[in-house]
């Protein structure tokens, strides 16, 4: 595409052309209206003066007869100017005046008419005139008029002025269109050049902004925000795959090392058995991680609709509390339950149960107060209705999760420093999050002052 072709193809240029045409038509209409108005004013004025003269001449005819009228008309007709006079007999023969010729039948029609005529002063040129014909007593006809040359000249001048200014308008408008289009084109070109760079791999580049805050700037800033988000997602993906690599490779390496170690020397059957047991254990751990990953992926793609049913959330909370009660007690943690049922809702009972189990499991594992902290080891499970929503909350008095890490811990495999050494896959919260999303709900992490307070916020999804 040539540079000019590119320019003419821009929206800005096309828009300015359209605007120009509309403006030119508008201006033309206004000038036409002014022209007509001028003509009307002109004609009105002629009409009035002609009328006055006719009144005067008719008065002279009444007082002094045809002789006085003729004398008066001759005197006026000989004066220079655009005034026209003619007195004829009833048959149309000229008696006095400065009009030589009129089209046939003009004199028969009394009233104001616009007509062609020929002047008496030798030059047989066709002129246009506005005239009034008056029927005098005795059959004489009196014509008084004005030549229209002035009016026509004015109209010509106006027409020329109009055309000239329209010409200028088109010229300036086109130039302006090109100028603006070029400016926009330059910025769009800069933006698409940046986009090309970004596409070819430099994800840290951003689209240029002029800082004027105009629509192109707003577009660029939206696109930049989008790029920012994409970058974050890419980084997240990168982290996930790094974590997958780490969290799957570590047990795989241990598994492989165990087998190699067992194969290296002759051993007693009991030692082989112990090694193989460890291998099975590692393999089970890997299977567990795979299953959890698969389940999260399936939930995120919307699976689980088959398991939706009406159930009592308070009962699920009781079940999970009861399930974990013994484990908690063994670790010296007090597990309390606050769930007044029934809290009927629609959803995946088992999925929500599993999500809650993960949250409670986490709270018991990681929610213990730091050594030396004078706080009770307590984990609270609460289930309650809040309008059309249900809330399942698990709160502990442990070290909590710093505000800046709260979004991150929901990601797959993310485990905070200090918990990496504890057993676990780092998928528990991701699974709870996936369950929340499947139900169009949310998972909220808040400060329990002190400790962590996680709420699974679910729509009840059930007609009351």
Residues that bind other proteins (CB under 8 A): 277, 280, 284, 287-288, 291, 294-295, 297-299, 303-307, 319, 322-324, 326-327, 330, 350-351, 353-354, 357-358, 361, 364-365, 424, 428
Q: How far is the CB of 429 from other proteins (least distance, A)?
A: 12
The nearest distance, CB 286 to other proteins, in angstroms, is 10
Collapse the DSSP code of 236 into the 3-class scheme (helix H, G, I; strand E, B; otherwise coil) and give the result: helix
Contacts of 250 (CB under 8 A, 6+ apart): none
Q: Toward other proteins, which CB reaches closer, 81 or 342?
A: 342
**Tally of CB atoms within 10 A around 304:** 18
Closest approach, Cβ 350 to other proteins, in A, equals 6
- Residue 90 or 290: the one with the smaller Cβ distance to other proteins is 290
Least Cβ distance, residue 431 to other proteins (angstroms): 9
Rounded to 5°, angle at Cα 332 from 379 and 394: 10
Shortest distance (Å) from residue 181 CB to other proteins: 56
| Residue 31 buriedness (CB in 10 A; 0-12 / 13-18 / 19+) | middle
How far, in Å, CA of 419 to CA of 399, rounded? 11
> How far is residue 215's CA from residue 187's CA, in Å, rounded to a whole number?
12
| Shortest reach from residue 13's CB to other proteins, in Å | 56
Which of 198, 352 has the CB closer to other proteins?
Answer: 352
Tokens representing 158?
């106006």
Contacts of 11 by beta carbon, 8 Å cutoff, 6+ apart:
none
Closest contact distance (angstroms) between CB of 356 and other proteins is 10
DSSP code string of 372-423: T-----EEEEEEEEETTEEEEEEEE-SS---GGGTTGGGSTT---TTTTTSS
Of 130 and 289, nearer to other proteins (C-beta) is 289
Residue 239's SS3 state is: helix
Among candidates 334, 338, 337, which has minimal Cα distance to 377? 334
Tell me whether residue 184 or residue 364 sits nearer to other proteins (CB atom): 364
Q: How far is the C-alpha of 117 from the C-alpha of 138, rounded, in Å?
A: 25
In the complex with other proteins, the residue whose CB is nearer, 248 or 323, is 323
Residue 250 or 291: the one with the smaller Cβ distance to other proteins is 291
Q: How far is the CB of 330 from other proteins (least distance, A)?
A: 6
> What's the sign of the alpha-carbon dihedral 292, 298, 304, 306?
negative
Residue with tokens 């052309």: 17
> Measured from the CB atom, is 173 or 461 closer to other proteins?
461
Tell me how far apart the alpha carbons of residues 302 and 72 are, in angstroms, rounded to a whole number: 108
- In our burial notation (b when 16+ CB lie closer than 10 A, e otherwise), range 378-415 reads bbbbbbbbeeeebbbbbbbbbbbbeeeebeebbbbbbb
Nearer to other proteins, 125 or 326 (CB): 326
**Directed axis angle between helix 149-199 and helix 215-264, to 10°?**
10
How near is the Cβ of 446 to other proteins at its closest, in Å? 24
Q: Which residue number, 428 or 441, has a Cβ lying nearer to other proteins? A: 428
- Rounded to a whole number of angstroms, the minimum distance from the CB of residue 277 to other proteins is 7
């Amino acid at each position: 595409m040539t540079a000019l072709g590119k320019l003419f193809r821009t929206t800005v240029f096309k828009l300015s052309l359209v605007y120009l045409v509309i403006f030119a038509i508008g201006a033309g209409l206004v000038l036409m209206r002014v022209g007509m108005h001028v003509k009307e004013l002109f004609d009105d004025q002629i009409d009035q003066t002609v009328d006055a003269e006719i009144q005067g001449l008719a008065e002279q005819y009444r007082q002094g007869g045809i002789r006085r009228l003729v004398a008066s008309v001759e005197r006026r007709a000989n004066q220079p100017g655009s005034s026209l006079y003619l007195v004829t007999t009833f048959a149309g023969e000229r008696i006095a005046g400065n009009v030589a010729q009129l089209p046939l039948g003009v004199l028969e029609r009394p009233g104001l008419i616009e007509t062609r005529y020929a002047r008496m002063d030798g030059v047989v040129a066709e002129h246009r005139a506005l005239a009034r014909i008056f029927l005098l007593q005795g059959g004489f006809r009196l014509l008084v008029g004005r030549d229209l040359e002035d009016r026509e000249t004015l109209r010509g001048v106006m027409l020329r002025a109009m055309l000239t200014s329209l010409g200028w308008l088109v010229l300036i408008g086109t130039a302006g269109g090109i100028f603006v289009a070029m400016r926009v084109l330059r910025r769009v070109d800069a933006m698409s050049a940046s986009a090309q760079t970004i596409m070819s791999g430099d994800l840290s580049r951003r689209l240029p902004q002029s800082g004027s805050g105009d629509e192109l700037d707003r577009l660029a800033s939206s696109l930049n925000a989008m790029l920012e988000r994409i970058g974050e997602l890419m980084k997240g993906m990168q982290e996930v795959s790094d974590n997958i690599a780490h969290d799957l490779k570590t047990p795989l390496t241990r598994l492989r090392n165990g087998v190699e170690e067992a194969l290296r020397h002759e051993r007693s059957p009991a030692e082989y058995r112990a090694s193989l047991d460890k291998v099975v254990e590692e393999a089970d751990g890997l299977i567990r991680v795979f299953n959890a990953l698969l389940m999260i992926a399936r939930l995120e793609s919307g699976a689980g609709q088959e398991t939706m049913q009406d159930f009592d959330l308070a009962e699920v909370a009781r079940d999970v509390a009861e399930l974990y009660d013994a484990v908690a007690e063994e670790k010296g943690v007090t597990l309390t339950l606050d769930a007044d049922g029934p809290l009927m809702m629609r959803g995946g009972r088992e999925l929500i149960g599993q999500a809650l189990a993960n949250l409670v499991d986490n709270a018991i594992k990681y929610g213990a107060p730091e050594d030396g902290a004078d706080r009770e080891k307590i984990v609270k499970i609460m289930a309650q209705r809040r309008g059309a929503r249900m809330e399942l909350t698990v709160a502990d008095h442990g070290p909590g999760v710093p505000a800046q890490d709260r979004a991150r811990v929901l990601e797959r495999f993310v485990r905070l420093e200090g918990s990496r050494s504890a057993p676990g896959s780092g998928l528990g919260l991701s699974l709870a999050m996936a369950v929340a999303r499947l139900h169009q709900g949310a998972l909220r992490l808040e400060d329990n002052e002190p400790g962590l307070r996680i709420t699974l916020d679910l729509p009840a999804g059930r007609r009351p």
